[in-house]
Structure 1
Amino acid sequence: MVEIIDAPEVLDPVMEIFGGYPWVKGILIFVFFILIAKLLTWVFLPIIRRLAARTASHVDDKIIMMLKAPLFWTVTLIGLLVASTVSSLGDQLNNILLSIVTSVLVFLWMLFAIRLSKLLLQVASSRASDHAVIRPQTLPLFTNLFAITFFIFAVYFIFQAWHIDMTAWLASAGIIGIAVGFAAKDTLANLFSGVFIMADTPYKIGDYIVLDDGTGLRGKVTSIGIRSTRLLTRDDVEVTIPNAIMGNSKVVNESGGPYPKYRIRVAVGVAYGVDIDKVKSILLTIAEENEAVCHDPEPRVRFRTFGASSLDFELLCWVDNPELRGRVVDMLNSTIYKLFLQEGVEIPYSKQDLYIKEFPGQTD
């Protein structure tokens, strides 16, 4: 028989009274451990929590709250093991009870470890810099990795508690893994690509990206999952793209860079002979008076080239978000056309003159 722990000496006088009733001894010991568990969770933990409340951080308060349930059940279940040993239930029953209690305790402390790691990772990500390994974008990845790791360790210890040999299970898992790998290689490729995307963060939720894969798909990232990434196009159509495609494609992040502002270009041509200083002044005025255009960086105008039939200018200005690109370009083009008409600035366009030498069948 496995000896767990001797009965507390403080109960020896009581044990002598019930010497002929082992089950009564077991009940008394179990009740004694329950009282200790209540004392720990109702008296000592609140005292520690009041002391922790004086600190500036709230993390210690949450950890103490998470400790309440596993600490109570740990002491209670240890008391159950001691009570079963004293009650002389037999080696076989005690061993079964030991395996059950160990499994329950491993499960309880696994949940505590998962919650604690999630809490600590959230704190670390909230205080992280832009180039830190743990940040809000990578938080789901590390949370899932820690949860899976704790779960694997818990399964291992539970198997050990029931004296189950892991060798055969691991061999079977390896064979099954190879079969699943061949059967679901596309799914696994998406999963691994999703992990790399979360770790590398080439884009984040809310960014406007363009896929340079021949389709020119452009949209706002609404979700980044383990298997796929979802984009909301300007047509309000949600497109789901497998992460394997995202990982192997060139992605242009219009919201990336030092700030989310996006530069738009408005090309316009004017006729030869027009005052170029006047054209530049009109274009700058239009950009500066538009409320959707940013003043920092300032708008600017560039005289690009001498075209075949026009002087080609380009108005460069910034908007707060790539989402505004189409709307602002429409407003700028409309205003440019109206002001050029008012100011007499000619916008050249292709013209063809047709000369008819003679009509067929015409005679003098």
Structure 2
Amino acid sequence: MHLKDFFNYDLVSVGKFSISAFDLFISGVIVIITIFLLRLIKKFFNNRVNAGKIDKGSAFSIYSIIKYLMWIIVFLMILETLGVNLNLMLAGSAALLVGLGFGIQQIFNDLVSGIILLFEGNMKVGDVIQLENNIVGKVKVIGLRTSKIKTRDDIIMIVPNSKFISDRVINWSHEQGSTRFLVEVGVAYGSDTEQVTRLLLECSKEVPEIDVNPEPFVRLNDFGDSALIFQLLFWTKEAFRSENIRSKIRYKIDRKFRANNIKIPFPQRDVHMISDNK
């Protein structure tokens, strides 16, 4: 058998539809070229990221959009190569989608939300976000239908993209390098407020994760029922580990307050008993 005869040999033949070895060969070449081009594009974006000309999240989003578009085009090209009537297929798909509309409505919602996320760039890979249920995580992957975030407990969560569009999401990494947090503590009435302020600032200076610019500051926030309420406000670039940082500060506050005889009161109530003596 000659090579020409081999390529013209029909591997699959059903009625008027047939797939030859040449069709499969061309389809394979298209896939290989696409993979090669995607690797070149990915390498280009990696070089731009390493050169500091584009951030990693933006590069990933743009690359994902290009990848999805290329594979859609390649899929249509392969179908055309194999002799599939695209107009007939699209018409049939439209009818099928109408019939399954209610069943796959949420899937389409997630897909459209994924496209919006990739194009808008409001959430990028590496961003630290907080969901409505107070779950804080770092974005690891932004997919077309779902995205993956890694929580503070090192658990990978798979979240439908529609959640990031319809729900309220806090992006702690958006347009700034540092995020502000606070630690609140109550001290007994009669305590030296200037000393308390000084001790709290000393605690902040002993935690290396806290930024020195902007400087931490102390605020006398309220006169509570049984304590003066102070807040130590600080900035850090380690937003993802903010709870660990606040824990370190609380340990230092407890140690310094004990050493300087600053009392942290517990809630208490005075109860007056009135007896009716007849």
Q: Shorter-chain TM-score category?
A: 0.7 to 0.9
Alpha-carbon spacing, 1:248–1:298, altered in 2? closer, same or farther (3 Å):
same
TM-score w.r.t. length of structure 1: 0.60
**C-alpha distance in structure 2 between counterparts of 1:196 and 1:157, whole Å:** 32
CA contact (8 A) 1:207 1:253 kept: yes
Q: Which has the higher helix share?
A: 1
* Aligned match of 1:266: 183
* Aligned match of 1:155: 79
> What is the one-letter code of the residue matched to 1:141?
I
* Aligned match of 1:303: 220
* Aligned match of 2:15: none
CA contact (8 A) 2:181 2:233 kept: yes
> What is the one-letter code of the residue matched to 1:325?
S
**1:19-54 residue CA offsets vs partner (Å, 9 max, x unmatched):** xxxxxxxx9xx8xxxxxxxxxxxxxxxxxxxxxxxx
Larger radius of gyration: 1
> What is the one-letter code of the residue matched to 1:279?
V
Alpha-carbon spacing, 1:341–1:105, altered in 2? closer, same or farther (3 Å):
closer
**C-alpha distance in structure 1 between counterparts of 2:90 and 2:227, whole Å:** 75
* Aligned match of 2:14: none
> What is the one-letter code of the residue matched to 1:118?
L
CA contact (8 A) 1:121 1:134 kept: no
Higher relative contact order (CA 8 A, sep 6+): 2
Q: How many residues align?
A: 263
1:136 aligned to which of 57, 60, 64:
60
Unaligned runs of 5+ in 2: 8-18
**C-alpha distance in structure 2 between counterparts of 1:325 and 1:186, whole Å:** 34
Show the 5 A alignment for 1:1-364: 80=4, 100=20, 103-104=23-24, 106-126=26-46, 127=48, 129-130=53-54, 135-159=59-83, 166-212=86-132, 215-259=133-177, 261-307=178-224, 310-358=227-275
Q: Displacement of 1:206 after TM fit?
A: 4.1
Structure 1 SS opposite 2:61 = coil
**C-alpha distance in structure 2 between counterparts of 1:166 and 1:357, whole Å:** 90
CA contact (8 A) 2:60 2:125 kept: no
Structure 1 SS opposite 2:60 = coil
**C-alpha distance in structure 1 between counterparts of 2:259 and 2:222, whole Å:** 25
Q: Displacement of 1:310 after TM fit?
A: 4.5
Alpha-carbon spacing, 1:201–1:316, altered in 2? closer, same or farther (3 Å):
same
CA contact (8 A) 2:147 2:158 kept: yes
Structure 2 SS opposite 1:303 = strand
> What is the one-letter code of the residue matched to 2:217?
R
CA contact (8 A) 2:57 2:125 kept: no
CA contact (8 A) 2:56 2:125 kept: no
Q: Which has the higher strand share?
A: 2
> What is the one-letter code of the residue matched to 2:76?
I
TM-score w.r.t. length of structure 2: 0.75
Q: State percent identity of aligned pairs.
A: 24
CA contact (8 A) 1:209 1:218 kept: yes
**C-alpha distance in structure 2 between counterparts of 1:146 and 1:173, whole Å:** 21
Structure 1 SS opposite 2:215 = coil
Alpha-carbon spacing, 1:117–1:180, altered in 2? closer, same or farther (3 Å):
farther
Unaligned runs of 5+ in 1: 1-26, 31-76, 85-98
RMSD: 3.6
Q: Displacement of 1:143 after TM fit?
A: 0.9
Structure 2 SS opposite 1:137 = helix
Q: Displacement of 1:167 after TM fit?
A: 4.3
Q: Displacement of 1:304 after TM fit?
A: 3.4
Alpha-carbon spacing, 1:104–1:229, altered in 2? closer, same or farther (3 Å):
closer
> What is the one-letter code of the residue matched to 2:72?
I
> What is the one-letter code of the residue matched to 2:62?
T
